[in-house]
Amino acid sequence: MTAKDSFIPDRIAIVFRPRRTLTKPLRKALKFLSTLNATVVVVGEHPLSESDLKKYSIQSIVKWKRVAKYLPDLLVSLGGDGTLLHCLNELKYPQDTLFLGINSGNLGFLTEGSVDEGEGLLKSIVAGDFWIDRRFLLDVQLLRDDKVIWQGYSLNELLIRQEQMARPIKARLFIDKVEMAAIQADGFIVATPTGSTAYALSAGGPIIHPFLNCFEITPVAPHSMNSRSIVVHDRGVASLVLDSKWHCAKIYVDGIGKFNMKTGDVVTVTASPRKVSFVRVKQHHYYKTLRDKLNWNL
């Protein structure tokens, strides 16, 4: 989606990476936001003093619950991919919020530009010179005795791993109700195309273009050479049934621990009808970005 008209958000939220310092480029970006006729809040830990908050007409909000009710039109994340994922998770992956990642982290696959480019990115967005990158989400449910005890969304990946004990996890994998395999491994990853370049890649999973509608299942350090990643189409239903009797398994979503699991628990994953919207100003070439971010040699 390409925007043509100017875009002046009514509600803007800013999130800083923890222990971030307030540099000159960041001050210029904040000064520009203060010229807009918008309510601007900063969430969580931030480097702004009371005089800074007053100078840039910014309100300080400590608790994410208040931000969730306030639901910003634009959220500006000043950090890396982890900061952006944290924002998405805390706001429960809202569809109506546009997310802009300004990178001060490491790889920055999801972010749009560097801190030095922050002011220019914001000016382009306000001028309507941007496009919207809608990303695929997973619907995740944890069932116990046929009852849903937890559910949520994932942009990157779902991970099941041991919490304490150094033992493998045993699980049975079903796809579209067909039992595929009983697998022993150190963990299991179900990743979106967006998350295919994250933990799943480190575990040997395939790289999937983010515009494809599918997801992958990858065992972590499987105890059999026959255990391989598998890609499932966007109408497929994948289930992992935990068979381990001695374990301390836990389910993680986008790096955040969510729920402890018990023997017989079932994790069911499907493609979500929801999408997450990222603001893009630059023209992106995915394979060039992949080459540069992964430092592949020519």
Active-site annotation, residues: 81
Distance CA 174, CA 180 (A): 5
Q: Among the residues of the chain, which ranges form H helices?
A: 24-34, 50-55, 64-70, 81-90, 118-126, 199-202, 286-293
Give me 134's structure tokens: 């809608």
Distance CA 30, CA 12 (A): 11
Q: What is the DSSP letter of 117?
A: G
Distance CA 101, CA 17 (A): 11
Could you tell me if 100 and 29 are in contact, meaning their C-beta atoms sit under 8 angstroms apart?
no
CB atoms within 10 A of CB 85: 24
Distance CA 23, CA 248 (A): 43
Could you tell me if 30 and 7 are in contact, meaning their C-beta atoms sit under 8 angstroms apart?
no
